[in-house]
Each structure stands twice: as C-alpha cells, then as structure tokens.
C-alpha cells in the first residue's frame, strides 16, 4: 500500500514557488487549510495566483497572504467576505477573476478530470460572460469556461490514513474534493492521521492516489473566523416575516429548496418537520435544520451558504460543491428563494453588484437563478430613498435573464404569467394604490384575493 510522507508545515510550504497557481480548499473558514496558509504567509514566496471560493477573512487564511502582498491574482466566487480583498481588486492592486460558484467548482472538477473546459448556461447575458465564447446547445445559449488546474493544492480533511485516503467532516468537503484532483502537487492539512484500514473503504471521500503529502494540524475555534459561533438572538420585522410566510406558501411537501441569505433565510425558521421540505445549501448539504440553540459553531455543526452554523435533520446528507451545483444545474432543486436588488418586466434579475459599492462576489446566485426549476425573489418593494425595485428595465448588472417566476415584496406579490408581469396579491399593510405608485414596471392586475 502507498505510504504518503507526513511532513511539517514549514516543509510543506517550501513546495510552493514564486509564480505558482495555488488552489485552496474551504468555504469561508470551514474546511480551510488555515495552518498551511499561515505558514506560507511567513515565507517570502510571492506572485501567487490564488484560487479559492473566497480569500479567507480579514487577516486570516488567504487574507494574510493578501496583506503581505504575496498574491498576484485572485480567482474566486465571493471576495465580499473579505473587504480587504474587495479593495485590493477594485484599486487594481491585485488582478482578479470572478466566477459563479458552481462554475468555479466545475472548472476545478474538469481540470482534475483532464477536460479542457465546458459550456454552461450560468452567467449568460451578464458581465461575467463578456469576452467569452458562447454557443447555442440544446436550444439554450451557453458560455464556455476553461478548466482550472494548479501547481499546488492546499486542502483540509478531518481524517487521513497513512496511504493518503481522506475523510471530510460535515460541510467541509466543499471545494476540497475537486481541488484534490486538480493540482500537480496536493498537500493535505488533516486533524488526525490513522493507520491504513482504520477508515472503511466506503467512508473514503478522496482516494490516496490524489494525495502527495500529509500535515497534521489541530483546528481551534479561532481558526473558524466568523463561523466559530452563532448568536440565536436574530429578530426580523413584521414585514420581513410576512414575506417569508408568503414564500412558504409556495413550497410543497417533498420540494428540494435552496434559500438565499437575508429574507429567504427567515423561511427556514418557519418550516416544520411536518412540512416535509428538504433544504439545500450549495456548499454541500441536503436536510438543513434550524440554527443551533446552544450557541455552538462550525466546530460542532455544519454551515450553510451564509457560513452560519446550522443543524442537520434526520436523513441529511453531505457532498462537495461540484456535486451540489450539479444538482442545481441538473434541475434537481425545485425552488430557489433569493433576495433581489431589482427585477424587471422581462423577468430579469439583478442581485449581485451595485456600481461604486464595495461588493465583489456572486456566489451561487447565478447558478441558482439559472438552474432551479422555480425562482422566487423576496425583497423590499423600494429602496430606502424610495426608488422602485420592480422596474421596467434593470439598470444594475444582471444576475440572470428571463429567470424569475415570482416576486414577493413587503407591498405586493407578482407572478410572471404568459411572460407578463402580473400582480396577484397585495400584502398586509399595503394598498393597491400604493403598489401602483411605487412600482415603475408595467404590470397586469389579476388579484387572487
């Protein structure tokens, strides 16, 4: 049986050379090889192209390399979780490439499988598709994405045997599994190393054939950043709860449902076991339960796409980000409920960028908006300054075109019926006249109650 060398952190980081492409696993700080990253931050290695979902958090993980000026380029999905990464990108200090989260995961999986690239409908018609080749395949416009490979991958597993077979914990598979296949040299930071045979074959997530070196490193609460613990004292306004309750009415028993951050998250608090709704989170979990009530964090619980610790219901399952987005693109997610900045008469959604603001991250929004069977947008009807958010034409960057099925605001409920924006309901506390005055989009009125 193969024997994988067990080396120190200091020896491991000497494997990364100036100018290398470094793949870093993790979703936020969960499943993040933080000890390897911090050891690399103590070296003089520079001009690194960093590939990961996000560049750590401020001053930790990849964020420490960024502060040190060791990064030449960042390729990722959600830089917004680290304001210093956003500033570095927007100031032109560091080159960057922003990819939808599912596209990033699939590009890594393709790279590891020896595939040159792939076509996907995700991001078609958006800023992220500009300059890329597109084709009509199966009557759907799709954009070409080259695969991604790295010189070195830093990943984290919970358990490894001496042959390099890996087992991940809860939602810590995320990008680690794909990255383990997609680099010339794979170095694994692991909580526990055991003799061959102590991990049963069916419990191995990454076979040892992909692994070159093991490093033992113990996880602490401080290593988990903002996911280290969770407060259970959140309180939502009546109008926001009304939107969540109305969205819940659209869900059926047995539905697989993905909830975005913000107002959609409130729907999770309303779902009971009797509802039979299966919550999906794109970082790798089906069967998401409510927020833990004991204040525990990611040391003890899985996390959702907002990097918030959650519980797992009976029958829950874990998987990696590539499989998760295959579920989404393959139309195995019945409903996605997302927040929005604007929705227009053409069922187009804008919800990821505002010019001039320190935002730089699309996450899984484009994949979900394109891939879910039904898309419900929950948002306030107007901006704080009174500007309409249900508009004739979006003037913010698109997330997805012709994708929205329903809009639920604090004032109204709209459906797209025969491709026409249709008002079907006025929300509690509002009036039809108020809806008419505060909506700039043209709409048909077919009030159901």
Q: State the catalytic residues.
A: 282
Half-sphere exposure of 72 (CA within 13 A, CB side): 11
**Phi and psi (nearest 5°) for 366?**
-65, -40
Question: Two tokens at 31?
Answer: 């499943």
**Contact indicator for 411, 427 with CB cutoff of 8 Å:** yes
Q: Could you tell me which of 146, 156, 209, 117 has the C-alpha nearest to residue 24?
A: 156
Dist CA 337 CA 405 (whole Å): 10
**Contact indicator for 423, 414 with CB cutoff of 8 Å:** yes
* CA angle (171, 58, 226) in 5-degree steps: 40
Dist CA 68 CA 17 (whole Å): 16
Dist CA 265 CA 280 (whole Å): 12
H or E element, residue 167: strand 166-167
Q: Name the region of 19 (left: φ>0; alpha: ψ -120 to 50; beta: rest).
A: left
Half-sphere exposure of 78 (CA within 13 A, CB side): 21
Question: Two tokens at 183?
Answer: 């680099």
Is 38 strand, coil or helix?
helix
H or E element, residue 414: strand 412-417
Bridge pairing between strands 256-259 and 213-216: unpaired
């Amino acid at each position: 049986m193969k024997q994988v060398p067990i080396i120190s952190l200091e020896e491991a980081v000497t494997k990364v050379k100036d100018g290398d492409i470094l793949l870093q696993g993790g979703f936020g700080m969960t499943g993040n090889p933080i000890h390897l990253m911090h050891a690399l931050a103590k070296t003089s290695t520079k001009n690194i192209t960093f590939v990961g979902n996000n560049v750590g958090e401020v001053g930790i993980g990849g964020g420490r390399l960024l502060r040190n000026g060791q990064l030449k380029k960042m390729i990722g999905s959600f830089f917004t979780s680290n304001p210093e990464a956003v500033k570095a990108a927007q100031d032109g200090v560091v080159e960057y490439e922003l990819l939808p989260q599912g596209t990033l995961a699939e590009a890594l999986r393709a790279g590891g499988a020896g595939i040159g690239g792939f076509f996907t409908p995700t991001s078609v018609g958006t800023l992220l598709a500009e300059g890329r080749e597109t084709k009509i395949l199966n009557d759907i416009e799709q954009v070409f994405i080259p695969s991604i490979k790295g010189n070195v991958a830093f990943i984290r597993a919970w358990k490894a045997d001496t042959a390099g077979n890996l087992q991940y914990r809860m939602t810590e598979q995320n990008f680690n599994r794909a990255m383990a296949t997609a680099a010339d040299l794979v170095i694994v930071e692991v909580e526990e190393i055991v003799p061959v045979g102590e991990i049963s074959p069916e419990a191995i997530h990454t076979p040892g054939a992909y692994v070159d070196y093991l490093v033992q490193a113990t996880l602490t609460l401080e290593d988990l950043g903002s996911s280290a613990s969770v407060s259970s004292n959140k309180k939502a306004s009546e109008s926001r709860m009304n939107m969540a309750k109305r969205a819940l009415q659209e869900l059926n028993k047995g539905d697989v449902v993905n909830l975005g951050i913000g107002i959609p998250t409130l729907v999770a608090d309303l779902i009971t076991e009797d509802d039979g709704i299966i919550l999906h989170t794109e970082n790798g979990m089906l069967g998401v339960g409510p927020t833990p009530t004991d204040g525990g964090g990611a040391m003890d619980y899985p996390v959702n796409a907002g990097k918030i610790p959650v519980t797992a219901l009976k029958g829950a399952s874990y998987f990696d980000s590539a499989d998760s987005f295959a579920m989404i693109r393959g139309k195995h997610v019945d409903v996605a409920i997302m927040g929005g900045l604007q929705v227009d008469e053409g069922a187009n959604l804008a919800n990821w960028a505002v010019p001039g603001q320190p935002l730089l991250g699309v996450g899984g929004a484009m994949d979900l908006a394109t891939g879910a069977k039904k898309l419900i947008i929950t948002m306030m009807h107007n901006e704080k300054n009174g500007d309409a958010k249900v508009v004739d034409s979006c003037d913010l960057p698109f997330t997805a075109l012709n994708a929205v099925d329903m809009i639920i605001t604090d004032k109204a409920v709209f459906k797209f019926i025969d491709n026409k924006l249709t008002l079907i309901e006025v929300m509690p506390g509002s009036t039809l006249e108020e809806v008419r005055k505060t909506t700039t989009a043209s709409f048909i009125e077919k009030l159901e109650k």
